[in-house]
Chain A
Amino acid sequence: MATGFLTDTTVCIGCKACEVACKQWNQLPADGYELTGDSYDNTKQLSGTTWRHVAFIENPKKRRLTGDVDLVALAEDVTEPLPGGAELDALGRWAFMSDVCKHCVAAPCQQACPTGSIIRNEFDNVYIQPDICNGCGYCVPACPYGVITKVPHDGRAFKCTLCYDRQKDGLEPACAKACPTESIQFGEVEDLKARAEERVQELHDKGYTQAYVWGTPEVGGTGGIGGNHAKFILMDEPETYNLPRHPFLPQEKVKGGVIASAVAATVLGAVVALAFRD
């Protein structure tokens, strides 16, 4: 059985309850008081001490409200022509997205890990065993989504465990439990996939044709990664949410690199041997 997340950004209200719940349950340290000055988002990104991160996106294309704007109609999700020739575009003026470890089907961090600290547990989640990690940090640049970092003062690398401890006791992860709008849904990957497709269809029917699922083998999980167990329903281009469109599995090319290098080594050996000829 594989478990995962479905994060539906269309209903996220940016309350950050998931961030707080994650920090509390996993006893993660604070990241300091840093104000970005960019937006209301001051945690900026995922890291070894921030395992859920809510992105606050303001997009001019999406926030054009022209004419006589009926705010009640906006709140009620109406997309038909509005009185007075007003036009509404997309779901309001903010886009929120609660980012998390993608729990890749073929995880680059796991393949990079030289100690075998990063494993797939019985729920098919990518999990770092903290008693084995020696802090080499090689998983950090390997991750195509910038999820893992080494934690200063501790030395080891950390990331979302998909609340391994809670799952073992039959509970859902802290972030999903805390989410008030069901933007974060937890469940079996197959179920979530069906639910995601259903929701995207529903959005399409309502006229939001830009909605799509990110984290499938086609989008967001390409190049050998084979899809993600944490999927997202997005309304804009992946880059807007700081996500790559076609990430790749960096270890895919290890064998090719070794073959090319072995050829080079042979050539160099021959060159050196030739130098011995008088």
Chain B
Amino acid sequence: MGEATRDQVQRSNGKVETSHHPETDQKRDDKNYYGIPPIKRAHWTWQIPIYFWLGGIGAGTQLFATIAQLLGHKDEALKRVSRYTVLATMLLSPVLLIWDLGRPERFYNMLRILKLRSPMSTQSWSLFAFGNLGGLVAARQAAEDGLLGDNTLSRLVIRLVPDRLLNVLALPFGLFVGFNTGNLISATSVPIWARNWMLMGPTFLTSGLSTALSWLSLVLHLGRWGEAKTLRILHRAEKATILMEAALIAASLIRMGRWSKPLFSKEVAPLFVGGTLLGGVLAPFVLLSGEERRSRSMLASVLALAGGLAFRSSLILAGRQSADDPEAYFTFASGESAPQPEDNV
């Protein structure tokens, strides 16, 4: 060490000064690497929340329509609307999902294997099953409605397609599509999603049912097709479902704990607090609780439908922030908070 340096060291009270001295650098006190996210976020953009939303509507519609059929509730308009709804959601969902792929031309590889541990794999298969069964039922409906023309094929479809049996078979696959959208995001390393593994599926399914009931009641009101009794049943079911949805969202927030913070960030709060909690849950419930009127009911339906989409979008956006936050991941993956094999339901 040179004489000059030695002097400098002694003057600076024994501390060596270097050009890279970090003592003034705030970042060095953090327990992370320059704030670079330790995990990578999902690439999902707008297609995925819309798919989650459509899948939920399809699942809830299937649940309501099948129960109506099993209980012997005869309403042609309800039957027609619900069957075409399932068909439409199951036609649009694969389009959105294939659009989202990096190599869309290889979409069929989704059905190359069945992997029970991969929610993406089971989701693909249940969509495939639900879409085909729902499609067959919708084909029979189309034949009954005369959309296939008056010919042998049409009569054959009506004779050969057992709609009751197919509806019952489609129900579990439909429900699976509905709740697995939640389980799909939970089975990742993203703290806000993974933390809520138990309630994510139930919350998504309940929210899906609430959007489906709203959709059915909205369409039946709009066309003035529905029987008064059907609308009354829908109204009752909607109210109960929204209550359950509110309870499940509250329980999810408690479960997420400190990792729920992104839902209340500047970017996501308008969608989550405004769009979901106030617009999609509270407002429809207030509207439905009052006097039963067509306009009120329709407004409630529109709000609940928009709220369902806002809920899914806000969770996807919050997941992005959660994955980008090293502090969130490191606190999550440092102790008891992360899901462990020995945890039970």
Complex: chain B residue closest to A137, CB-CB: B43
Residues of B within 8 A of A132 (CB): 106, 109, 112
Q: How close is A11's CB to chain B, nearest CB, in angstroms?
A: 20
Instruction: Compute the total of residue contacts between A and B using a CB distance below 8 Å.
Output: 286
| Structural contact, B107 and A261, CB atoms closer than 8 A | no
Q: How close is B311's CB to chain A, nearest CB, in angstroms?
A: 16
Q: Which positions 217-256 of chain A face chain B at CB distance < 8 Å? A: 223-224, 237, 239-254, 256
A111 close to chain B: CB less than 8 A: yes
Knowing A69-B1, A71-B1, A239-B330, say if A148 contacts B103 (CB, 8 Å): no
A150 to B194, CA, bound (A): 21
| Structural contact, A256 and B344, CB atoms closer than 8 A | yes
A177 close to chain B: CB less than 8 A: no
Q: How close is A261's CB to chain B, nearest CB, in angstroms?
A: 3
| Structural contact, B117 and A63, CB atoms closer than 8 A | no
| Structural contact, A261 and B118, CB atoms closer than 8 A | no
- In-complex Cβ contact of A275 among B18, B118, B237, B244 (8 A): B237
Q: Which positions 1-59 of chain A face chain B at CB distance < 8 Å? A: 36, 38-39, 41, 44-45, 47, 55, 57-59
A268 to B73, CA, bound (A): 18
Residues of B within 8 A of A171 (CB): none
| Structural contact, A247 and B202, CB atoms closer than 8 A | no
- Interface size classification for chain A: 35 or more
A180 close to chain B: CB less than 8 A: no
For the complex of A and B, list the 9 residue pairs with the smallest distance between their C-beta atoms, beginning with the closest. A135-B102, A155-B102, A261-B201, A264-B202, A261-B179, A134-B106, A244-B333, A242-B33, A114-B121
Taking A254-B183, A254-B187 as given, write out 16 further A-B residue pairs in contact, using a Cβ cutoff of 8 Å, ordered by the A residue number: A66-B16, A132-B106, A134-B101, A137-B42, A140-B40, A141-B319, A144-B189, A224-B341, A240-B32, A241-B33, A248-B339, A252-B343, A259-B345, A265-B205, A275-B233, A276-B68
Give me 16 A-to-B residue pairs in the complex whose CB atoms sit less than 8 angstroms apart, sorted by A's number.
A55-B33, A58-B20, A58-B22, A69-B16, A135-B103, A244-B334, A246-B333, A246-B334, A250-B187, A253-B187, A261-B201, A264-B179, A264-B201, A268-B205, A271-B240, A276-B233
Residues of B at under 8 Å CB distance from A? 1, 6, 9, 14-16, 18, 20, 22-23, 25, 27-28, 31-34, 36-44, 63-64, 67-68, 71, 73, 100-104, 106-107, 109-110, 112-113, 115-121, 123-124, 175, 178-180, 182-184, 186-190, 194, 197-202, 205-206, 209, 229, 233-234, 236-237, 240-241, 244, 248, 319, 323, 326, 329-330, 333-335, 338-341, 343-345
